[in-house]
């Protein structure tokens, strides 16, 4: 049976970067949900601007379900969008997403620190460096709203500010400990 691993966490946690190293290390196909959305549907920012965030949540959720069907026979590392399992609207979608993830694989939470203040500073600084014209106050508010929900998710929780390569090794080692 195919194995599906889901990297989860806030934007700026390093999911995509760590995912590249991890997929190479464990030999899984890597699918970044944000990239798939952009390729198959539209640029995320433009889509949200024209159709709204709620519609984006619906489409993003449907996209993961489609990908799970398409890759049902393959070992896949899915990089989930930052708001996929935690957002301030449409709790029905978030709950369904959590159910889909738990029923279809193993989730790994990436977070720079268990300490709220340390994690907030690291995540917001990283987000502001990405060149998306993000605003510090909005990013701090978003992280604050989602932090506790993130901390409660993940079959495996990785709290680290190490280099992405080191985090990938740590995750791979933990994944190898899972029972067959």
Q: pTM value?
A: 0.93
Along the 180 residues of the chain, how does pLDDT read in single tens digits?
789 999 999 988 999 999 999 999 999 999 999 999 999 999 999 999 999 999 999 999 999 999 999 999 999 999 999 888 877 788 999 999 999 999 999 999 999 999 999 999 999 888 888 766 777 888 888 888 889 889 999 999 999 999 999 999 999 999 999 987
Determine the topology of domain 4-161 in CATH: Rossmann fold (3.40.50)
The 3-state secondary structure of the chain reads CCCEEEEECCCCCCHHHHHHHHHHHHCCEEEEHHHHHHHHCCCHHHHHHHHCHHHHHHHHHHHHHHHHHHCCCCCEEEECCCCCCCCCCCHHHHHHHHHHHHHHCEEEEEECCCCHHHHHHHHHHHHHCCCCCCCHHHHHHHHHHHHHHHHCCCCEEEECCCCHHHHHHHHHHHHHCCCC
């Amino acid at each position: 049976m195919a194995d599906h691993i889901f990297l989860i966490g806030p934007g700026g946690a390093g999911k995509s970067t760590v995912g590249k190293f991890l997929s190479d290390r464990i030999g899984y196909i890597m699918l970044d949900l944000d990239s798939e959305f952009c390729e198959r549907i539209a640029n995320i920012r433009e889509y949200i601007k024209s159709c709204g965030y709620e519609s984006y949540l619906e489409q993003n959720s449907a996209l993961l379900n489609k990908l799970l069907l398409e890759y049902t026979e393959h070992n896949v590392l899915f990089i989930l969008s930052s708001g996929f399992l935690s957002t301030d609207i449409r709790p029905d979608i978030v709950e369904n997403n959590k159910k889909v993830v738990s029923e279809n694989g193993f989730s790994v939470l990436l977070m720079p620190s268990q300490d709220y203040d340390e994690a907030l500073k690291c995540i917001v600084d990283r987000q502001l460096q990405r060149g998306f014209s993000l605003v510090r106050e909005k990013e701090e508010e978003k992280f604050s709203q989602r932090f506790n929900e993130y901390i409660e998710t993940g079959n495996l929780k990785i709290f680290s500010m190490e280099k992405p390569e080191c985090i990938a090794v740590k995750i791979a080692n933990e994944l190898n400990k899972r029972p067959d």
